A and B are shown apart, each in its own frame.
Chain A
Amino acid sequence: MKLIDNFLDGLHAVYLGQLFGWKSFLYYRLQFIFYLIYAAAAPLASFLFIYVIYHVTVGIPGWSFYQLLFLSGMVGMLSALVPYICSSSGMVNGLRYGYFDLYLTRPYSAFTALMANFSDTTGMMYVVDQLALVIYAGAHLTVTALGVIMTAITFILGTILVVMLFQIIILFSYRVLRSSGVVNNFFNTLTTFAGYPLSLYGFTGTVFLTLVVPIGFATYYPTELFSGKVGVAAFLYALVFSAILIFVFYKIISVKLRGYVSAMG
């Protein structure tokens, strides 16, 4: 019972963090629209890129224009969602200047403190515009209701995994370097590779980007599920593997946070 209570308290705290983050952002109503319009440049650029590929060449074997567009939208959403949930500079500053100490004086767990306090709300506008690209591409693909549900679940689990991986790397690099520079480079490289079908990188590349750095769960597999390249069996595999990885990552983060030492005194 205590475990469930703690979990619900954690969810409540994350919800409050989100709610007040949004209240802060909505205090500037006009900017909301400004960001929404501005952020559209990214999915438009992706669209143009893929359009050119399929216009001047035969494209990537086995992948249609809309499938690749869908994948690119998923990667775009992920690369906006991760900093939205956990801004690396915010988190490193929080650790470095001791705001994190302050969050730990509140009645929630260290992991909740991490999830509830470092989101950058302006990032959501970029997620919304990328989602529009995903919906546009998805509308041109034949799908089933089950496919959509499986895609959504895999994407959510995959995003949680990538966020947790991101937090682990931030904690490690903070320990060693006290900065977030390495993290952003790593994440950038990762999304560059995830922008194309993992199958391009052969068996080794696919395994690496699925099990070692699990970005595939958030981008590649949802796209495959959505476009019907793989079915329920693959979904169940993804479910089991991502559940195991989430558990492992959670343990690593908890241990790392216990050993966390802020500005010493």
Chain B
Amino acid sequence: MQRRDDLLGNGYLAVLRTTFISDFGYRIETLARLARRLIAPIASVILWTIIYAASNTTTINGFPRADIFIYFFLVSAIGSVIPNANISNSMQYDIQSGNVATYLIKPFIYPLALIAETGGDALYEFTFITLPIFFVACATVGFNLVLLRVALFPIEILLGFLMTSLIYFMIGCLAAYVINISGISNTLLWVFNVLGGRLIPLTLFPAGIASVLTILPFASIYYLPVATISGLASWSYITNGILYMLGWIAVFFLASLLVWRVSKKKILAAGG
């Protein structure tokens, strides 16, 4: 991880910038991801269109049929930025190769360095995948953009990024204890897909489950930002959602500190 060497003297922002720039080196991968993010939501759109047609209705649980297209495309677009699973992959590499020891003795905070590095990746993804799909979706369907909602959109994504970074940081710490954590982070994606609103808009859940999901951290990953910008969510839902998310970030932050403190010794012993 040569790019992390920028930390010496230049600080975390420099790492973010270097990561962003070095991502340009993987253009074909970017195109492949863009293609996947554009093609994959078609499956959901087809599925739900057929379900709505079979149910012979235009709204189910308050979710209008007309919003299916924009919803699944925007969810797909956000999916390239959050959840930030890169963090645990990076950590697994660092810990199992033993490189982590060299980072821990350098004059920077390793967890912050990880967030800066993956933040560069996320910014790159946001610029070259999320925004293009957003514009394509807007141009295709067209919906009313409310300035305040547009302004809240990137903020919610940023908060979602931070929250999932903390979750994956804790999973990354597991790399010192188990052989392979990539399966664990993939499994978590399945959970996020369903409970976070990637496969089903959360309002479609039965009322009881839906209200529980709103409080849980998953809702803010996909559903909240998309529901905000597309006008699906009411103002009270948005403010509550952001407050819940800030609360969860605080909880996960404290939990991360604890996990880091407990596992640090084991992490240092691994690989080295």
Contact = CB atoms under 8 A, between A and B. Distances in A.
Direct contact of A and B (CB under 8 A): yes
B187 A196 contact: no
B200 A49 contact: yes
A204 interface: no
Contact of B178 (A28, A176, A192): A28
B26 A179 contact: yes
Nearest to A177: B28
Interface in B148-189: 178-180, 183-184, 186-188
Q: How large is the interface on B (under 10, 10 to 19, 20 to 34, 35 or more residues)?
A: 35 or more
A53 B183 contact: no
Interface residues of A, number: 42
A177 B193 contact: no
B54 interface: yes
A262 interface: no
B10 to A, nearest CB: 27
Nearest to A179: B29
B200 A60 contact: no
A195 B191 CA distance: 15
B178 A31 contact: yes
Contacts of A200: 46-47, 50
B136 interface: no
Contacts of A193: 40, 43
Nearest to B49: A200
Nearest to A195: B43
Contact of A181 (B32, B46, B47): B32
Contact of B194 (A34, A49, A58, A189): A49
Contacts of A182: 28-29, 32
Contacts of A123: 183
Given A58-B54, A185-B35, A52 B187 contact: no
Contacts of A181: 26, 28-29, 32-33
A4 interface: no
B104 interface: no
Contacts of A41: 187-188, 190-191
Interface in A89-130: 120, 122-123, 125-126
Interface string A192-232: 11011000110000000000000000000000000000000
24 contacts: A31-B178, A38-B184, A42-B186, A52-B200, A52-B205, A56-B206, A58-B51, A58-B54, A59-B51, A60-B47, A61-B54, A126-B187, A177-B29, A181-B26, A181-B29, A188-B36, A188-B40, A189-B35, A189-B36, A192-B40, A195-B43, A196-B46, A200-B46, A200-B47
Interface of A: 25, 28, 31, 34-35, 38-39, 41-42, 45-46, 48-49, 52-53, 55-61, 120, 122-123, 125-126, 176-177, 179, 181-182, 185-186, 188-189, 192-193, 195-196, 200-201
